[in-house]
Amino acid sequence: MDRKNKTRRNTNNRIGNRNSKSSDNKKRKKSRSAVVPVAVILGIIFTVCMAFNIVREIGKNNLHKGAGVAKVYAESFYDKATDIEYDGKIYKYNSDIITFLVMGIDSDEKVPEVDENTDYLMGGQSDALFLFVMNPHDKSLSVIAINRNSMTNIYMCDRAGNYKKTGWAQICVQHGYGDGRELSCTRTRDAVSELFYGLPINAYVSMQIGAVKYLNNAVGGIEVVVPSDFPEMGFVEGQTVELDDEQAYFFLRFRDTTKFNSASKRLENDKVYLKAFMEKVFEKTKKDISCPIKLYNIVKDYVVTDITVDEMTYVASELLGYQMSELKFYQLEGEMVHGQKYKEFNVDTEAAKRLILQVFYE
């Protein structure tokens, strides 16, 4: 009887041991199966981060390459390879700065196609011209407004696109001497570069004014403080208004050409709207890094740019470290006069040199 009970207990022990081992194996398998997805997720995150950083670095390098070599002009002042002595101080060019030329074109239509019928005198005028300057040293962003009537040397061609001469004219008409696309943009970029003594410009963006309604709508409207009385819209100086899509378009495009220096008044409207728009996009980008690309996709038929996706990725991610509240706005100083046919803005050359040193040099 004792022998039978002993045998039964041994058998139960063996069965219990087997069940215990089986349970341990299941736990280990479950533990391993839980680890595998975590490892996969971490691997994916690491790969995405690596890919993002690679794309970002490529974009950064390409932007710096795009600046090219500064031209040399008869009245030379700017030279990124040489320290400059001015007013008793030595200035060194900040070669890490990235500069974008932004152009607003006076057309409601989408960007034109180029074919054998293209009229190279109908590229459209750049009524708005701004230089956006990113300084990674102090994480500052500066915007320089350029009066559309600023006088400078421009490239002139005939309707077929054949070079005729270099003329002295308002900088806004340079975009018109081209195809309305890349050719017009590069010629305008060169004209602006010359106006700034050969300043390298890393990239450009031009946008037809017709795209404003879509952008304004995409960000949910823009609130501005009206810089001066605007009776055509029923606005008074200092009034805070939320611009809907039609109002934004009119606010940026309208100017009373019967009044002297109306271009300067419109430029003030451009600056106010642009600052408010940038601040809103900046806040949206902090929540969604793809925001600039989404906005671009909305208006891409109205836009010409040489900024690539990798460059846009770098700029968007870089700007997240900037303080938009410290955005600095500048404007080329000068005097508006009546020319033989049109109004002309004569840039104050000494003020321009001081501005270049202040923004682009250390």
Domain ranges of the chain: 66-360
If pLDDT is split at 50, 70 and 90, which confidence band does 38 have? low
In this predicted structure, what is the pLDDT of residue 312? 82
User: What average pLDDT does this structure show over 68-87?
Assistant: 64
In angstroms, the CA 306 to CA 127 distance is: 20
In this predicted structure, what is the pLDDT of residue 25? 52
153-171 pLDDT, tens digit each: 999 999 999 999 999 999 9
Q: Among 51-55, 60-64, 161-165, which stretch is predicted with the lowest mean pLDDT?
A: 51-55
263-322 pLDDT, tens digit each: 899 999 999 999 999 999 989 988 888 888 899 999 999 999 998 888 887 888 888 888
In this predicted structure, what is the pLDDT of residue 5? 52
Other Cβ atoms closer than 10 A to 293: 15
Amino acid at 264: S
If pLDDT is split at 50, 70 and 90, which confidence band does 70 have? very low
Q: What is the DSSP letter of 110?
A: P
Residue 362 C-beta-side C-alpha neighbours within 13 Å? 9
- The residue that leads in pLDDT, 286 or 121, is 121
Overall CATH class of domain 66-360 = alpha beta
In this predicted structure, what is the pLDDT of residue 185? 97
224-268 pLDDT, tens digit each: 999 999 999 999 999 999 999 999 999 999 998 888 889 899 999
Non-local CB neighbours of 39 within 8 Å, separated by 6+ positions: none
If pLDDT is split at 50, 70 and 90, which confidence band does 324 have? confident
3-state class (DSSP) for residue 1: coil
Nearest alpha carbon to residue 145 among 295, 323, 347, 320: 347
Nearest alpha carbon to residue 208 among 97, 118, 126, 318: 126
Q: What is the token pair recorded at 272?
A: 């106010």
Q: What is the token pair recorded at 199?
A: 């300043």
In angstroms, the CA 177 to CA 229 distance is: 35
In angstroms, the CA 42 to CA 40 distance is: 5
